[in-house]
Structure 1
Amino acid sequence: MEQLPKVHRREVSESAAQFRAAIDSALELVQDYTGNPVSEHRDLSQPLPSLLQQCQNLLAEAQVEAPLPVRTLHHLACSGGTLISRCIAAQPNTQVLSEVDPLSPFVPSGFLPTDLIGLSRFSSRPANADTQIEMFLAGLRVLYGTATQHGQHLILRDHSHGHFSFGAAVTDRPTLHEIVSRAFPVKSIVSVRHPLDAYLSLLDSGWVQHFSPATLDEYARRSHAFLDAYQNVELIRYEDFVEDPPTVMQTICATLSLDYNPDFTETFAAITLSGDSGRRGDFISPRPRRPHPPAIDQEAEDSEAFQTLLSRLDYHRKATAKSE
């Protein structure tokens, strides 16, 4: 076989080296894109098909989408959470499960044919909390898979009342956010309302009797515990939402990675969720404070927990701004 002249062999060798360097550079770019570090000990003598295969493999890994998150909504009772949840349910491709708490104390005994967690609690050998959590996550995986297949976003509205506003003390147990995070990526928001308005609504509903003592000061202490549990979660004020629903809803959708429906104020009225305990209506607007005895205002002034709660939620600043 006729050999190439020496000068041509040198040119071919240089071209091959340049081509290999180009492939190597492309491999580094792909590895940078996927976040995988480039090995300092890569064997540059490996044949070309292997380098191409590495590029293809890395690109395939980059194209694998991250799992979709489960969204969770957290608020205390009588704080406008149902209204906000209904409006979130009016966004595209959402599936909202309302008032979720796998460890809730609000589980009636008796006839519970479809409730495995409830049945397990009242069985001849009651299931412990860890087993109840595993049962909950197993069911959630089924819902999550079905929602994902149908292009829907699974959203869990927490029933925080059973955790933070029930019994003689706040129970030391995992939050819904912590439980769901064991199996899924999670995106969450917390919504709050002026604590005096929320407390007055609790009084009106009779639910203030779920904790003891049933005072505004105790309610403020429990509200602090709730906020401590969700201190790294985006916080939305009910008052801001009813003042400017479109702007706040766009913030909520951005936080939860949901598409925004600009017509939600016209469509949310068709959505019904459990837990609608407050003053009902299909129009979003500020509501006047409920009438109440002067003694409650005095308790608010005297309660350090309540005053620090106002500051923590920035309601002191808002009240000052309105009075100016």
Structure 2
Amino acid sequence: MSQDPANRAELLSALEGTLALLHEAGRTAGSDLPDLPLPSLLAQCADRVAALDVAAATPVRTLHHMACSGGTLISKALAAMPNTVMLSEIDPLSTLHLRAPKPPFLPTDLIAGLRYSPRGIGEQTILHIFTAGLTALRDDLHTQGLALVLRDHAHSQFCTDQDRQARPTLHKLVSDALPVLSVVTVRHPLDSFLSLRNNKWAHFQPATLQEYCLRYLDFLDAHVDLPLYRYEDFVADPARVTAEICDALDLPFNPGFEPLLPLMALSGDSGRAGAQIETRDRRAVSADLRADANQSPAYARLCARLGYDA
């Protein structure tokens, strides 16, 4: 059956008209067609249309953050919520995982397979594949009473050699196709930059704190209307902040989620080992980086915007 509400309404109207004609024919023939199963069939069709309408209104949830900003731990907390399915580090337009010249083994990834095709592939084809698969997944999970959460891989867009302004964000891609509920999480930019550099994930040039903060500001501008939560507040009071995020995403909240965190296996677990929610000491800050921080206008502006001490 078509997913278009107008088409469903048209089908229901046609069925009602057909049933009325059949009853009229029955009266003309001297019978009210008492055993005709069409009223039951029509009721089933109406129930099916109503169910499709409910599924179509079900939102996809999205979670957005920069790399090395505590996003994995927050994602694990959300993944531990009842009836929640978390897909980690999703970005259909990312090319960061591709390797040349030999393609990696990706037997279930249609988009990556097409990326390696010598014929080339247009962005619209990639987006059609992504939205079709996402819609099917959302609908199937809805029938099982499950909520879908996509954890964005914003690093692919904002911290690589991709033109971050020339392509849509994951939030834009999802919201153009389906209802969506979304939040942003952040961490002190000096801590996330130190971790990014420690992991050798500064996939941009120049790999300076100033450049990183410019990209971080662009990330915030691209998600300016979304609720924002700080990693440091989450660490200080995990239950309160997780409950607030669940409320923003319309997810059920389980206050006893912390013992479940070690069971939540997600990609992107780049931080220091362990699923314990606790404050960690800042990595060592070199004299050069300290000087860069003191001289970076973007760093000062970013800290002020997020309410951090620069």
TM-score normalised per structure 1: 0.76
Q: CA deviation at 1:169?
A: 5.0
1:192-227 CA-to-partner distances (Å, cap 9, x unmatched) read 00000000001111112x110000000000000000
AA in 1 matched with 2:68: C
Q: CA deviation at 1:146?
A: 1.4
Q: CA deviation at 1:79?
A: 0.3
Matched, 1:267 2:260: yes
Matched, 1:108 2:102: no
Aligned partner of 2:199 among 179, 194, 205:
205
The equivalent residue for 1:291 is 284
Q: In 2, Cα distance between the equivalents of 1:100 and 1:158?
A: 5
What secondary structure does 1:206 align onto? Answer: coil
Say if 1:242 and 1:285, in contact at 8 Å, map to a contact too: yes
The equivalent residue for 1:6 is none
1:24-65 CA-to-partner distances (Å, cap 9, x unmatched) read xxxxxxxxxxxxxxxxxxxxxxxxxxxxxxxxxxxx999964
The equivalent residue for 1:276 is 269
Percent identity over the alignment? 49
Q: CA deviation at 1:113?
A: 2.5
The equivalent residue for 1:79 is 69
Matched, 1:245 2:235: no
Say if 2:157 and 2:163, in contact at 8 Å, map to a contact too: no
Q: In 2, Cα distance between the equivalents of 1:233 and 1:144?
A: 21
The equivalent residue for 1:10 is none
What secondary structure does 2:302 align onto? Answer: helix
Q: In 1, Cα distance between the equivalents of 2:187 and 2:297?
A: 18
Runs (4+) off by over 3 Å: 60-66
Runs of 5+ unmatched residues, structure 2: 1-46
What secondary structure does 2:177 align onto? Answer: coil
1:132-174 CA-to-partner distances (Å, cap 9, x unmatched) read 0111111112211111111000000000001000017535101
The equivalent residue for 1:230 is 223
TM-score normalised per structure 2: 0.79
1:252-286 CA-to-partner distances (Å, cap 9, x unmatched) read 01100011001011212211100001112121011
Q: In 1, Cα distance between the equivalents of 2:176 and 2:256?
A: 35
Q: In 2, Cα distance between the equivalents of 1:297 and 1:96?
A: 37
Q: CA deviation at 1:123?
A: 1.2
What secondary structure does 1:223 align onto? Answer: helix
Greater displacement, 91-100 / 63-72: 63-72
Matched, 1:139 2:133: yes
Say if 1:168 and 1:212, in contact at 8 Å, map to a contact too: no
1:298-324 CA-to-partner distances (Å, cap 9, x unmatched) read 1111100000000000113xx8xxxxx
What secondary structure does 2:68 align onto? Answer: coil
Q: CA deviation at 1:108?
A: 2.0
Matched, 1:181 2:175: yes
What secondary structure does 1:207 align onto? Answer: coil
Matches within 5 A, 1:119-198: 119-167=113-161, 170-198=164-192
Q: In 2, Cα distance between the equivalents of 1:135 and 1:282?
A: 34
Say if 1:75 and 1:190, in contact at 8 Å, map to a contact too: yes
The equivalent residue for 1:29 is none
Say if 1:168 and 1:211, in contact at 8 Å, map to a contact too: no
What secondary structure does 1:73 align onto? Answer: strand
Greater displacement, 152-161 / 281-290: 281-290
Alignment root-mean-square deviation, CA: 1.8
The equivalent residue for 2:39 is none
The equivalent residue for 1:9 is none
1:96-143 CA-to-partner distances (Å, cap 9, x unmatched) read 000000000223251432211111122132111111011111111221
The equivalent residue for 1:217 is 210
What secondary structure does 2:265 align onto? Answer: coil
Q: In 1, Cα distance between the equivalents of 2:130 and 2:50?
A: 32
What secondary structure does 1:315 align onto? Answer: coil
The equivalent residue for 1:38 is none
The equivalent residue for 1:99 is 89
AA in 2 matched with 1:116: L
Runs of 5+ unmatched residues, structure 1: 1-59, 320-324
What secondary structure does 2:228 align onto? Answer: strand
